[in-house]
């Protein structure tokens, strides 16, 4: 009854005291290349931040819960730790080289891709984004060294507004 490692398994929670994997098709499971670190669902899709170094951001079509299908992926050149959806953009945080914050959107043919990114501290290997929240045209990024506010009014070119640095990580 357990879920496979490095996979997304959709559960039937009709009985909250006894959640079980979906029956039929692929058993509600889709295999991924790395552990799922964060997930959010919107409409027919589940959006995942993963530890897979070749596809850190994954969109899974979950319309048929018994047979979910990977719809699109984005390579961020590093690990992803968290994500937030706002409108048509996914804000993904992680250890990606030179982009603790990556903005993912639809490109030609609906294929996901990086439409903007930001290295918040100017040092591509020294910081890891852990969590993010979006309010209006501002993203708030919690990292392993502090807290950042970022202007995202132009998704192609996010700009750091401010920061508070300290000796510990910011988590949800």
Position 124 scores a pLDDT of 47
- Across the strands, what pairs with 82? 93
Q: How far apart are CA 147 and CA 142, in angstroms?
A: 5
Average pLDDT over residues 56-78: 89
Answer whether residue 2 shows pLDDT above 50: no
This prediction's pTM? 0.86
Average pLDDT over residues 20-30: 80
Q: How far apart are CA 86 and CA 42, in angstroms?
A: 10
Q: 101-134 b/e with 16+ CB inside 10 Å = b?
A: bbbbbeeeeeebbbbbbbbbbeeeeebbbbbbeb
Answer whether residue 122 shows pLDDT above 80: no
Average pLDDT over residues 1-28: 80
Percentage of residues in the chain having pLDDT higher than 90: 33
Cα 72 versus chain centre, distance:
13
Contact status, residue 81 vs residue 99, Cβ threshold 8 Å: no
Answer whether residue 1 shows pLDDT above 60: no
The residue whose two tokens read 């029956």 is 23
Q: How far apart are CA 5 and CA 29, in angstroms?
A: 10
Q: How confident is the model at residue 3 (pLDDT cuts 50, 70, 90)?
A: low
- Classify 116 as helix, strand or coil: strand
Answer whether residue 25 shows pLDDT above 70: no
């Amino acid at each position: 009854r357990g879920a496979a490692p490095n996979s997304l398994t959709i559960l039937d929670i009709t009985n909250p005291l006894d959640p079980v994997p979906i029956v039929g098709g692929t058993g509600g499971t889709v295999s991924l290349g790395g552990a799922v670190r964060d997930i959010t669902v919107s409409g027919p899709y589940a959006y995942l931040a993963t530890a897979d170094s070749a596809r850190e951001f994954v969109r899974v079509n979950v319309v048929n819960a018994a047979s979910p299908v990977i719809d699109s992926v984005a390579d961020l050149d590093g690990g992803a730790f968290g994500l937030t959806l706002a409108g048509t953009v996914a804000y993904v945080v992680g250890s990606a080289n030179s982009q603790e914050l990556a903005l993912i959107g639809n490109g030609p043919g609906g294929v996901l891709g990086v439409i903007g990114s930001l290295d918040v501290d100017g040092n591509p290997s020294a910081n890891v984004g852990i969590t993010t929240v979006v309010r209006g045209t501002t993203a708030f990024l919690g990292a392993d060294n502090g807290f950042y506010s970022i202007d995202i009014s132009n998704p192609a070119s996010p700009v750091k507004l401010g920061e508070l640095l300290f000796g510990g990580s910011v988590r949800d």
